Structures are given as C-alpha cells and as structure tokens.
Amino acid sequence: MSEKGQSYLLGADVFIQHTDGRVLLVHHAKTDHWVLPGGGADEGETPRSARYARLWRKPG
C-alpha cells in the first residue's frame, strides 16, 4: 500500500478476554513467544474486516 511515495503496513491484533479473566493468546513458533492473534491486513481490507479474518484464519 502506498500513497505519494509513502508505504505503510496495516495490521490487526485481537484482544479477547473471557469473563473469568483468561486472555486468548497464540504461540508464535518462529519466535517461541505467546502473542495476541492477528497479522497484516490485505490491500483494501478495513481494520474491522482484517481482525475477523485474522481471528478465524486457519493456523499454519
């Protein structure tokens, strides 16, 4: 994505907390860290649609 020579990356992370306080995290195998589910958005995708797509995307 670029506009007038500038480029940027849009991403979306999702914070989901259960009523008992637990938070949904996913294990990032390359870095061996636990992170919020999320990722980069596709060109033309809104932040709202990106977060749902990243949440329901099949891992792997």
pLDDT band, very low/low/confident/very high, at 3 (cuts 50, 70, 90): low
pTM above 0.85, yes or no: no
Q: What are phi and psi of 7, to 5 degrees?
A: -125, 150
Read off the pLDDT band of 59 (50, 70, 90). low
Per-residue model confidence as pLDDT tens digits over 4-47: 777 777 777 889 899 999 999 999 899 999 999 888 888 888 87
Q: How many CB atoms lie within 10 A of CB 34?
A: 10
User: What burial class does residue 50 get, using C-beta atoms within 10 Å of its C-beta: 0-12 exposed, 13-18 middle, 19+ buried?
Assistant: buried
Radius of gyration of the chain (CA): 14
Q: What pLDDT, on a 0 to 100 scale, did the predictor assign at position 42? A: 83
Residues 6+ apart with CB under 8 A from 33: 27
The partner residues of 23 in beta bridges, in order of sequence, read 17
